Amino acid sequence: MEDGPTYGFDTLQIHAGSRPDPVTGARQTPIYQSTAYVFRDADHAAALFNLQEVGYIYSRLTNPTVAVLQERIATLEGGVGAVCCSSGHAAQIMALFPLMAPGRNIVASTRLYGGTVTQFSQTIKRFGWSATFVDFDDTEAVKNAIDDDTRAIFCESIANPGGYITDLKAISSIADSAGLPLIVDNTSATPYLCRPIEHGATLVVHSTTKYMTGNGTVTGGCVVDSGKFDWSANDKFPSLSQQEPAYHGLRFHETFGALAFTFHGIAVGLRDLGMTMNPQAAHYTLMGLETLSLRMQRHVDNAIKIANWLEEQDAIEKVTYAGLTSSPYFERVKEICPRGAGGLFTIALKGGYESCIKFVDALEIFSHVANLGDTRSLVIHSASTTHRQLTQEQQVAAGAAPNVVRISIGIEDADDLIADLKQALSAAK
């Protein structure tokens, strides 16, 4: 749908990237459950392997079902291309892989999903990479954390678990001044609520497991390339600007221009890291995307009603939902997420850790799971689960203190959810 009129979000979430199957006429994108693809002849095979022609070789690299999903997500985010992979965590490594080298670092927000904090503070050390964590509301601290070895700045648009809104324009301005790419995890917002590229992001990552699929069935991840970063402006990103030995000295940025990062992600990242999304997962996510705008609007409508009710309850110390007028991020929502602050936030219980445990155990409609972004309402006590590996100082900085419960509001009847929360708060006293 790249030619012709400019379509709206609701149309693109259904049609972008897909065409009726040319052989059968099937209207839904088929699941191409194939490992490999037949070459027309020897010259065709050589052209594909030399990156002289785009096509399908082997499903670790490219798959027709996954390709439709990549184009659809890139279109919804306003990017030039995308690479889908096996999970959100895989997407983060895929995003960093072309940028980093031993001794290099990233500057990351303290307000990140606990698994991301662990990945950045522990796991990437095995690659010789490191991360400096900073409160991104303190822009001077972000600037001061950047040094000669910094290769990227990383944050979430709507932070998990607290629902905090990042000032993307301020952070992208810092990144631009330093000549660095800004990577934004847009999982909690989705492109329906926020399009980080419009606010200066270089790359956008997703756990497609969450709102994009929306039904808790498959894991997946995606890296969206804005196509706007000059990888050859200096010598900081040799994987993209310098000769690639595995492709006879090809320079990705010189050869592929705005699509340099996308081609590298497939031709090198997926080739060697093997973090492949399977076609069935892509199919489930494509079906989920068809109703993304409808679901996200319901998530937002339910969340604002429930957050307002929770804020009035005696047992609640604090509600972090950015859509509340009491939130310090209320005005920022209008700029960064004009359609609403999402369906994710936390509540702090006055009774502390023990009350949180009783509260979670007493809920009936809410499912106690380590996930978010489902059609079902979900709940988890982050300090004892998703953020358990962090120090208490890190937990507090991430918005997951011991007296905090994360709530992912689903699309059920809001009054039923309020009744469930009411009885659980009573049981937690």
Q: What is the pLDDT of residues 169-189, one digit of tens each?
A: 999 999 999 999 999 999 999
For the segment 14-37, the average pLDDT, to the nearest whole number, is: 94
Residue 4: is its pLDDT beyond 70? no
- Give just the sign of the alpha carbon dihedral 59, 70, 269, 91: negative
Domain ranges in the chain are 10-99+181-288, 292-428
Q: pTM here?
A: 0.95
401 confidence band (pLDDT: 50, 70, 90): confident
Q: What is the pLDDT of residues 251-305, one digit of tens each?
A: 999 999 999 999 999 999 999 999 999 999 999 999 999 999 999 999 999 999 9
Residue among 124, 148, 120, 114 nearest 133 (CA)? 120
Q: Between 346 and 393, whose confidence is greater? A: 346
Domain 292-428 - what CATH class? alpha beta
For the segment 11-36, the average pLDDT, to the nearest whole number, is: 94
Residue 330: is its pLDDT beyond 90? yes
Give the pLDDT confidence score for residue 408 in this predicted structure.
97
Residue 389: is its pLDDT beyond 80? no
Give the pLDDT confidence score for residue 394 in this predicted structure.
82
368 confidence band (pLDDT: 50, 70, 90): very high
What CA–CA distance (Å, rounded) separates 400 from 397?
Answer: 7
Q: What is the pLDDT of residues 176-224, one digit of tens each?
A: 999 999 999 999 999 999 999 999 999 999 999 999 999 999 999 999 9
Written in H, E and C, the secondary structure of 141-159 is HHHHHCCCCEEEEEEECEC
Contacts of residue 8, Cβ cutoff 8 Å, sequence gap at least 6: none
Q: What is the pLDDT of residues 67-100, one digit of tens each?
A: 999 999 999 999 999 999 999 999 999 999 999 9
Residue with tokens 């507090």: 396
Residue 289 and residue 72 in contact, taking contact as beta carbons nearer than 8 Å: yes
382 confidence band (pLDDT: 50, 70, 90): confident
Residue with tokens 């022609």: 53
Average pLDDT, the chain: 95
Residue 386: is its pLDDT beyond 80? no
Contacts of residue 269, Cβ cutoff 8 Å, sequence gap at least 6: 83, 94, 97, 98, 275
For the segment 141-169, the average pLDDT, to the nearest whole number, is: 96
Give the pLDDT confidence score for residue 343 in this predicted structure.
97
3 confidence band (pLDDT: 50, 70, 90): low
How far lies 216's CA from each of 221, 331, 357, 367, 407, in Å?
14, 32, 23, 12, 16
Give the pLDDT confidence score for residue 182 in this predicted structure.
98
Tell which CATH architecture fits domain 10-99+181-288. 3-Layer(aba) Sandwich (3.40)
Give the pLDDT confidence score for residue 398 in this predicted structure.
74
How many other CB atoms are there within 10 angstroms of residue 139's CB atom?
15
Give the pLDDT confidence score for residue 104 in this predicted structure.
98
